Amino acid sequence: MNWLLDPSFSTFGPDIDRLYYIILVITGLVFVITEGALIWFLIRYRRKEGRKAAYVHGSVKAEVIWTTVPFVIVLALALMSKGLWDQIKDPAHFPDNPYEVLVTARQFEWITTYAGADGEFGTDDDFTLTNRVQVPVNRPVLVHLEAEDVIHSFFVPDFRVKQDAVPGMRMPVWFEVIEPGEYTLGCAELCGIGHYRMRGTIQVLPQAEFEAWESEQIALRSGTSQENLAARSPGEDDNGSGADEAGRGGR
């Protein structure tokens, strides 16, 4: 049912849409009933010649009803949302064996860091993309989200994903895309005068194509490192300043 929302392309997207439509129907009915009652009272109790105003204390029964009914509805929605919220937001419920990337938000761009051959972030074989995230299809992706300067918001409407990036914190957010393609990544938090141009692309590739791309990037990093090692003078050992320069050049 996509008569109001664009199609979703993540595994939990349809569940979010379903909950949205349930809330929309409930609030829509409440709106229609409330406005209908208002119009009826305006007509029923309009001013008439010879009619005197009368003081009405109210009805305890009516007050109990209009307090209890919203409470029950809101409680039911909270219980319906709890499982979905845990699935999306609680790290204890994240899928096993996700593909992990580090995304750093800063004014006004997204920097994606891949762990490289050793599978660890913060080492010399890491490689980065700017304003682009490449991930495999049909596999959970865990994004470690950081911010360098101000609060940003990692927002992918097609995945029904939105997570604030807070300076000084690493925020986890995950998704699993069910269809290859290119999807828009935006910042949903006003982050400065250039906020309007903070946009990136999430490119979702078939598994084999993604693995080939990742292997190519790792090979390029490895080749760069070998070139740097070969460029060192014979008098420089692995613990000397020349090794430091080679490491910095490799990054």
Crossing angle between the packed helical segments 207-231 and 241-250, to the nearest 10 degrees: 150
Residues 54 and 69 in one domain: yes
Query: Which pLDDT belongs to residue 187?
Result: 97
- pTM given for the model: 0.79
Q: Is the pLDDT of residue 69 over 60?
A: yes
Per-residue tokens: 74? 């809101």
Confidence of residue 74 (pLDDT cuts 50, 70, 90): very high
Question: How many DSSP H helices and E strands does the chain contain?
Answer: 4, 10
Query: Which pLDDT belongs to residue 46?
Result: 83
Q: What is the pLDDT of residues 163-172, one digit of tens each?
A: 999 999 999 9
Residue with tokens 């304003």: 131
Q: What is the pLDDT of residues 16-36, one digit of tens each?
A: 999 999 999 999 999 999 999
- 39 within a domain of the structure (yes/no): yes
Domain CATH number, residue 42? 1.10.287
Residues 103 and 84 in one domain: no
CA dist 226 and 23 (Å) reads 58
Residues 33 and 143 in one domain: no
Which percentage of the chain shows pLDDT scores above 70?
87
Domain that holds residue 80: 13-92
Mean pLDDT, residues 24-50 taken together: 91
Q: Give the residue from 43, 58, 92 where a domain finishes.
A: 92
Query: Which pLDDT belongs to residue 21?
Result: 94
Query: Which pLDDT belongs to residue 238?
Result: 43
